[in-house]
Each structure stands twice: as C-alpha cells, then as structure tokens.
C-alpha cells in the first residue's frame, strides 16, 4: 500500500466526512441545500462515506498485517538460518566425538595390550629374579623396576655369553 493512496484517503478522514455530512444534512441556513438533499440522499451519502471510512480502515489494517507478516517472515528466515548453522555445527561435533571415541578405543586397546605385556614380564621375569636375589621393592615403581632390571640384564648377558662358549 503506497503512501499516495493513503494520503488521498487522509483528506477524506472520518471526521472530515462527518463534518461534511453534518454540513450537508443539517445546514438550515441554506434552504437550497436542504431542499436538494432528501433523507434518502443524505442516507446514501452517509453510507458511501461509511464505506470509504471502512475501506480506509481495512486498507490500514491490511497494510499493518502485511508489515507484520514481512517482519515474521524475516524473523523466521533468521531463525531458520541460525538453526541450519547449529545443525551443521552439531553434526561436526558429533563427527569429532565419534573420531575421538574411536581414537580413545584404540588407545585403550593399546594400553591394555601393553599392560598385559608388562604384567607378564613382571610376573615371569622381574618378580622371581627380585625374590631370588632379595631385591623385592615395597612398591613397584619405574625406579624400583630399573634397579632390578640392571642386575637382571647383566646376569642375563653373562648367562647367554657363557652358553655360547660352551658347546
């Protein structure tokens, strides 16, 4: 609805129309006008002016509703765009989560394998050697294992070199 159409109706606002009707229908100073407008003609003018007023009101209401609709459509597009971005981000985060979950499973599998190997070495090699040689630590730590491994490696090297020399 352009401003020019609304401006043309502004000149014929309901109060201006009512004043004109009152002037036309009730101006007793001018008998010529009273004579020229019968009751039916006055009623027709009132109805026509009421229709114009109704058209103006409807046009204003339609313009307001169209503006509201445009605003809501713009807001809907913004929300839809934001939703799309959030949906994409969520998908990326889920993919990243899956990737990290797979990497974590691989690390846990590797850790479990290494733990089995270390436990086997401790139980079958280091622990018996430490018990035989009176070197049992109070607690198994990296340092205590190193203290036992040095003499164990030396004895193992000595034993293997002695086996090579004997036929």
Distance CA 37, CA 35 (A): 6
pTM greater than the 0.75 cutoff: no
In sequence order, what are the residues at sequence separation of 6 or more whose Cβ sits closer than 8 angstroms to the Cβ of residue 96? none
In sequence order, what are the residues at sequence separation of 6 or more whose Cβ sits closer than 8 angstroms to the Cβ of residue 125? 152
The per-residue pLDDT for 159 is: 86
Contact 53, 32 (CB under 8 A): no
Q: Is 22 in a helix, a strand, or coil?
A: helix
Q: What is the mean pLDDT of each run of 10 residues along the chain (167 residues)?
A: 46 51 50 52 69 71 91 96 97 97 96 94 89 88 90 88 60
If 0-12 CB within 10 Å is exposed, 13-18 middle and 19+ buried, where does residue 85 land? exposed
Distances (CA, A) of 145 to 9, 79, 133, 151: 99, 62, 14, 11
The per-residue pLDDT for 32 is: 46
| Phi, psi values for residue 138, rounded to 5° | -70, -30
The per-residue pLDDT for 163 is: 66
State how far Cα 38 lies from the chain centre.
69
Distances (CA, A) of 103 to 90, 94, 140: 20, 14, 29
């Amino acid at each position: 609805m352009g401003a020019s159409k609304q401006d043309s109706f502004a000149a014929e606002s309901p109060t201006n129309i009512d004043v004109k009707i009152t002037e036309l229908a009730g101006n007793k100073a001018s008998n010529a006008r009273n004579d020229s407008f019968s009751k039916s003609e006055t009623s027709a003018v009132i109805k026509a002016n009421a229709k114009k007023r109704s058209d103006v009101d409807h046009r204003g209401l339609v313009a307001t509703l169209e503006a509201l609709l445009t605003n809501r459509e713009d807001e809907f597009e913004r929300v839809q765009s934001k939703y799309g971005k959030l949906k994409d981000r969520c998908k990326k985060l889920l993919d990243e989560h899956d990737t990290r979950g797979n990497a974590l499973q691989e690390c846990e599998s590797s850790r479990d394998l290494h733990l089995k190997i270390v436990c086997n070495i401790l139980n079958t090699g280091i622990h018996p050697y430490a018990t035989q040689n009176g070197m049992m630590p109070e607690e198994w730590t990296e340092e205590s294992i190193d203290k036992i491994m040095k003499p164990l490696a030396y004895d193992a090297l000595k034993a293997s070199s002695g086996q090579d020399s004997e036929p």
